[in-house]
Structures are given as C-alpha cells and as structure tokens.
Amino acid sequence: RHYREAVGLARTLMDTKDSLQAQRKRQFVSQLQMLHDYRRWRKKADDTEYKLLLRENNIFRILIGMLVTTGILLTAVFINWRRRLKAENKLLLEQREQESLRVGYYKQLNLLTLPLVYSNQREGRMRMSESDWQKIYTNTDTCFQDFTTKLRQDHPSLKEDDIRLCCLLKMDMPLDLIALIFNIEKGSVSQRKQRLRQKMGLDVPLDDYLKRI
C-alpha cells in the first residue's frame, strides 16, 4: 500500500514537473516571440523615422535651394535694373545737355541776328524786315519744336506782332532789346505783356505759360 502511494506521488510530482517545464517553455517561447516582435516593430519604427527625417531633410534642401535661386534671380534683376536705370539716366542727361546746347545755340543766333539788323539801319533804330522775322521764327521753331505753329493753333486771335513778342520772350530776350525792336519804352514792354496775357485768357504769367509750350 505504501509503495503504491509512493509511486502515485512520484507520478504526480513528475507530471507537475513536466507541466511546469512545459509552462516555462511556453513562457520562454512567448517571451522570445515578444522580443522578436518588439525588435521588428522597433526596426520598422526606426525605418519610418529615418524616412521621415530623410524626407524632411530633402524638403529643407529643396527650400534652401529655392531660396538661394530666388535670391540669385532677384539680385540679377536688381543689378540689371540698376544698370538700365543708370543707362537711361545717362542718356537723359546727355539729351538734356544736347537740348540745352541747341537752345543756347539758337538763342545766341537770334541775339547775333538782331544787332546785325540794328547796325544796318542808318536812322539809329532797329527795323525788322519780314525776312528778319522769318529767321527769328525759324530759329524759335527749331529750338522749341513748332512753337509758333502751336501758338497760332491755340490762340488764333493773336496778331503778327503778338506772335513776334512771344517768340522774343520765349528766347529770353532782354526787355531793353525787345523795347528797341518794337521802338517803345522798356516799361511799355511789361504793359504789352499784360495786355497780351489778358487777350490770351491766361490765369498764369505770360512768361510761365510760354515756357510750357
């Protein structure tokens, strides 16, 4: 009897031992599987993170490249604009200088023409012939691009003497010389200018108006 009980107990112990070993084995296998799954998940996460980081770096590089390219283009455009502006200003300055020289030339030409007319008069006063006035008209129109034509079109009521006075004023002739040409006093020139301003219906001084034409 005691022997059978001992044998049964031994079997029970063996079964329990086997069961524990099997359980431990399953736990070990389960732990190995969990460790494997974790490593695989970690690798996948690392790969994903690396790809995201690589993508961010690529985007950053693209943005930097775009900024650099834009900066270069803007710099090139600015430099080209500065050069073109400088060239245009230089050309404009040259044109103004040429215009100033041209105006000065014809003014001097008129100033030379008038004393010659005066010196040819035996009576001691200036008498302008139609030919002399035609020279004044030609010089003034050449200097100020059809000045007399525009004046006649805008103010058809002006007489020939009015046009002549406007030409002399446009050429900045001295009042003394204008008075000598029209055989009047110097003060009468100012009065004549005022009457002409009223006749033309101007709300600005006559000299200022003529400068705009």
The answer to whether 148 touches 140, Cβ cutoff 8 Å, is yes
> What's the pLDDT at 104?
66
Extract long-range pairs of 71-74: CB within 8 Å, 24+ residues apart. Answer: none
Query: At 125, is the pLDDT very low, low, confident or very high (cuts 50, 70, 90)?
Result: low
d(CA 29, CA 151): 113
pLDDT at residue 188, rounded to an integer = 92
Q: How confident is the model at residue 209 (pLDDT cuts 50, 70, 90)?
A: very high
Task: Tell me the per-residue pLDDT of 95-106, one tens digit each, with 9 for 90 and over.
Answer: 677 666 566 656
What pLDDT score does 153 carry? 93
Indicate the domain borders of the chain.
121-212
Q: Give the angle subtended at the CA of 192 by the CAs of 118 and 123, to the nearest 5°.
A: 20
Calpha distance 165→206 (Å, rounded): 11
- Is the pLDDT confidence value at 6 over 70? no
Whether the predicted pLDDT of 62 surpasses 90: no
Average pLDDT over residues 70-83: 86
Q: What is the pLDDT of residues 44-58, one digit of tens each?
A: 777 777 777 777 777
* Fold category of 121-212 in CATH: Arc Repressor Mutant, subunit A (1.10.10)
The predicted pLDDT at position 166 comes to 94
Token pair recorded at residue 103 = 């105006």
Lowest mean pLDDT among 34-43, 104-113, 167-176: 104-113
Distances (CA, A) of 28 to 7, 19, 21, 37, 117: 31, 14, 10, 14, 131
Alpha-carbon distance 27 to 33, whole Å?
A: 10
113-127, 162-176, 194-208: segment of lowest average pLDDT: 113-127
> 189: which residues sit within 8 A by CB, 6+ positions away?
175, 178, 179, 182
**Phi-psi category of residue 183: left, alpha or beta, with phi > 0 → left and psi -120 to 50 → alpha:** left
Q: What is the mean pLDDT of residues 28-33?
A: 76
Distance CA 147, CA 139 (A): 10
Quick one: what percent of the chain has pLDDT higher than 90? 21
Tell me what the mean pLDDT of segment 108-116 comes to: 58
The C-alpha atoms of residue 25 and residue 14 are separated, in whole angstroms, by 16
**Poorest-pLDDT segment among 40-44, 46-50, 189-193:** 46-50
Q: Averaging pLDDT over each range in 50-64, 68-82, 114-128, 160-174, which range is the top one?
A: 160-174
